[in-house]
Amino acid sequence: AQSVTQLGSHVSVSEGALVLLRCNYSSSVPPYLFWYVQYPNQGLQLLLKYTSAATLVKGINGFEAEFKKSETSFHLTKPSAHMSDAAEYFCAVSENTDKLIFGTGTRLQVFP
Amino acid sequence: EPEVTQTPSHQVTQMGQEVILRCVPISNHLYFYWYRQILGQKVEFLVSFYNNEISEKSEIFDDQFSVERPDGSNFTLKIRSTKLEDSAMYFCASMPGRWAGNQPQHFGDGTRLSIL
């Protein structure tokens, strides 16, 4: 069965520092992987998606993620954090259906 | 940019009462979904809906839940007799065409349901 594990429910970084949010997946077939962001009192907004075209995926707001099959990982990174990046980030996977399976989320705090 | 709209943003209901959560998906989208997020927990899939019928539902989506597309624009989630554990944020999502893995779902801002 497909599942997603996000290590670290909270991550804190200084403004300008590297952001690394971890996501590992379990899937019996090549998965489709997504990162969504949720700002306070808002819905889920797609940051980026992996659909097997390229292992390094670039998304909005300077975020990117690399699919590593050998590590079953899809970690989200951003070279330089901005205060506006503070939000909750969800990794999600889907296999042969359109049902999204979400991780538990990682709350990113950015300090000045 | 077109967006998924959910109303109300916050619904407070007495336990045992029926509640209807409303969603207006993006106009040319064909696939519709409900997810929920209990406070502090992960977002969970409830149901998917296409061509006026349920495509898939989770074990959470029991007989107390139903979905409907009563007209060409609205998509509703009804909970027949609410329980305390139904308190959660409910998200509606839609997708334009047949799932091919590369189409993301577009989410609304959610309805926070509080059961007293």
Whether B45 has its CB under 8 Å from any CB of chain A: the answer is: yes
CB-based contact A71:A88 (threshold 8 Å): no
pLDDT at B102: 67
**B48 or B104, greater pLDDT:** B48
Please state which of the ranges A45-49, A62-66, B79-83, B99-103 shows the lowest mean pLDDT: B99-103
CA distances from A43 to A40, A51, A72, B38, B59 (A): 8, 23, 27, 14, 23
The mean pLDDT of chain B is 92
pLDDT over 90 at B24, yes or no:
yes
Rg of chain A's alpha carbons, rounded to an integer? Answer: 13
Whether B25 has its CB under 8 Å from any CB of chain A: the answer is: no
pLDDT at B98: 67
Using CA coordinates, name the residue in chain A closest to B58.
A99
Give the tens place of pLDDT for each residue, B64-115. Answer: 999 999 887 899 999 999 999 999 999 999 998 766 666 788 999 999 999 9
Q: Is B107 within 8 Å of A104 when comparing Cβ atoms?
A: no
